[in-house]
Structure 1
């Protein structure tokens, strides 16, 4: 599951990052969005750690 999640996140981050934005900055933005999502939707919280570790794996 984590490998699939990691690969999907890598694709999504690459697709939605600005052309001159480093991947690390895009991932930081994704982490902030994840924290907001978990704060607003408690049902996202159980996946927070898996998503966070997957995001760390796709950033250099």
Structure 2
């Protein structure tokens, strides 16, 4: 069940639009969204659509 949404890089704030990939990590009862694409500006691979969302720690 993939859908596309606008997200921003948690490191540099670049806005991008990409498909949502569910992970097994949960924050406040909701799955954390992770994306398999690296940020073209800073090279990191963690995106969020909610500034209050916690990062998935493995």
TM-score, normalised on structure 1?
A: 0.24
Which structure is larger by alpha-carbon Rg, 1 or 2?
Answer: 1
Q: Which has the higher contact order (CA 8 A, sep 6+)?
A: 1
Greater share of helix = 1
TM-score, normalised on structure 2?
A: 0.25
